[in-house]
Amino acid sequence: MRTAPGSTAAGLVVEVTGEPLTIDDVVAVARRGAHVRVTDRALAAMAASREVVEALADDDRPHYGVSTGFGALAMRHIPVERRAQLQLSLIRSHAAGTGPEVEREVVRALQLLRLATLATGRTGARPVVATTYAAMLDAGITPVVHEYGSLGCSGDLAPLAHVALAAIGEGEVRDTAGAPRPAAVALAEAGIVPLVLAEKEGLALINGTDGMLGMLCLAVHDLRTLLTTADVVAATSVEALLGSDAPFAEDLVALRPHPGLAASAANLRALLAGSPVVASHRRSDAEGRPRYTRVQDAYSLRCAPQVHGAARDTLDHAAAVAGRELAAAIDNPVVTVDGRVESNGNFHGAPLAYVLDFLAIAAADVASMSERRTDRFLDVARNEGLPAFLADDPGVDSGLMIVQYTAAGIVAELKRLAAPASVDSIPSSAMQEDHVSMGWAAARKLRRALDGLGRVLAIELLAATRALDLRAELSDVGRARAHPGPDKPVGLLPAAGTGAALALVRRVVAGPGPDRFLAPEIDAVYRLVAGGDVAAAAGAAVGQLA
């Protein structure tokens, strides 16, 4: 990431050079408020390609986006005196989104990514367009973009048009405090001169897949944390349900050489290493080889690294696609390196739409397995001697009975969100745009899916940590009965990694006891999961987790 070090977000600078940004660059600007600087080299590249466009500006021959209409109106020739109006009309007419506002981080990500494409010099936009976008990002001016308006082909037209509309001083924005403001007022207060669009610039500002890509970058970043956290949570459940760590052995997982499987199993081994709970039900045969009281654990325990690993491999593929897209210069028409202006189909969102859908499937399946482990904790037939529903006084207390309902409801929703958007297509623009990707919709539902996955993992962690505490209490009682007297043995303790997760949860949620209001506890643990605190705490105890 091309950032300057600083102790606060204000000290971070992301340089837009015309070379590919990274996912970390996108996250830094979108979420952390990093400043944006367009380099002189990028501005020079823009100026050079602008000369190509200006050479065509007075040409009577048709050039798409310069001297023609758009979409199905591409056959309409636009006279020279109307071509500046053509660009302004394009932005106004295409800013046609509706529905709830899109999150600030998504808008900042898509604006940064459009700026990065401008800086490649392949769009023909003037340098002032790039510097204006950078100034808006630095000033914290966030255009209001709406949920609906993109079909994921010809780019994210309506979302990007709303950003461009703000840059010309029209429409509505939100300021750094999140308050709604007229764009013209916010720009004036920040000392930013509204853009006056020249030939082709309106098209260059909206004909990209930046909304889809921005949401993919954020999702890749978030899902990496969630999958590491899923390993921590699964290890805690294996331990608390008296499961075996034997299936995670390196030589066993090496028989199926998937990188994600190896990484997840390595995490589980590290997290469960030295666990007194696991050791308590391990036996040895005559040759000293470990044996457990159960021959095999349920799939939701034994196969956790297979499912989590498959999700990791899917994520790696998605990250590779994101990397290629970050290296792309998407516009139509595009100014080629040798000075031609050519129409193309690179704005089609299929590459992004597919992996956005793939990630939603992976998120749903990881959550589904997590919910099954939660359910095992609550069932006396399967929870290895723990009280029903992990309740303090089952019958009087319901314990965690209903948190499983919540997890099940989320998982059901995630299954619906896993239905691919990318297999749909609704023709538009009088059948000129007769196949579209629906990648924006795939990205929107993925964001909801990742939120749901985090909540399901939080619910499992809530149950698993309560079960570990109850397990320790039960061992205390049993040992006290076997060894009466003042020197009562200490109850079973978890492993270092899972113990760190337990200690972190206990900072925000009390241990077992009579029934209490659970919704705030779920939300408190969810914040630890989504913020990466659980993965960080466990990693600090056992070493860096994959």
Active site residue 299: no
Q: Which two tokens mark 518?
A: 């659970």
Write the DSSP symbol of residue 373. Answer: H
- For residue 530, CA distances in Å to 18, 45, 527 come to 32, 40, 5
Cβ distance 371 to 460 under 8 Å? yes
Q: Which two tokens mark 192?
A: 């930013």
The 3-class SS string of 165-229 reads HHHCCCCEEECCCCCEEEHHHHHHHHCCCCCCCCCCHHHHHHCCCHHHHHHHHHHHHHHHHHHHH
d(CA 338, CA 289): 69
Helix or strand run (H / E) with residue 37: strand 35-38
d(CA 26, CA 206): 19
Q: Which two tokens mark 477?
A: 């009682």
d(CA 279, CA 254): 24
3-state helix, strand, coil in the chain (%, to 5): 55, 5, 35
Q: Which two tokens mark 244?
A: 């075996």
- For residue 390, CA distances in Å to 240, 259, 515 come to 12, 36, 10
134: region left, alpha or beta (phi > 0 left; psi from -120 to 50 alpha) = alpha
Q: Which residues of 273-300 are buried (b: 16+ CB within 10 A; e: fewer)?
A: eebbbbeeebeeeeeeeeebeeeebeeb
**Under 8 Å CB-to-CB from 346, ≥6 apart: which residues?**
328, 330, 331, 332, 334
Beta strands at 334-335 and 172-174: parallel, antiparallel or unpaired: unpaired
d(CA 470, CA 377): 11
Dihedral of alpha carbons 23, 28, 30, 31, sign:
positive
How much is the CA Rg of the chain, to the nearest whole Å? Answer: 28
CB < 8 Å & 24+ apart, contacts of 509-514: 509/462, 509/465, 511/466, 511/469, 512/390, 512/392, 512/466, 512/469, 512/470, 512/473, 513/392, 514/392, 514/393, 514/397
Q: Which two tokens mark 156?
A: 């994210």
d(CA 441, CA 420): 9
Residue 333, preceding peptide bond in cis (omega within 30° of 0): yes
Q: Which residues are catalytic?
A: 64
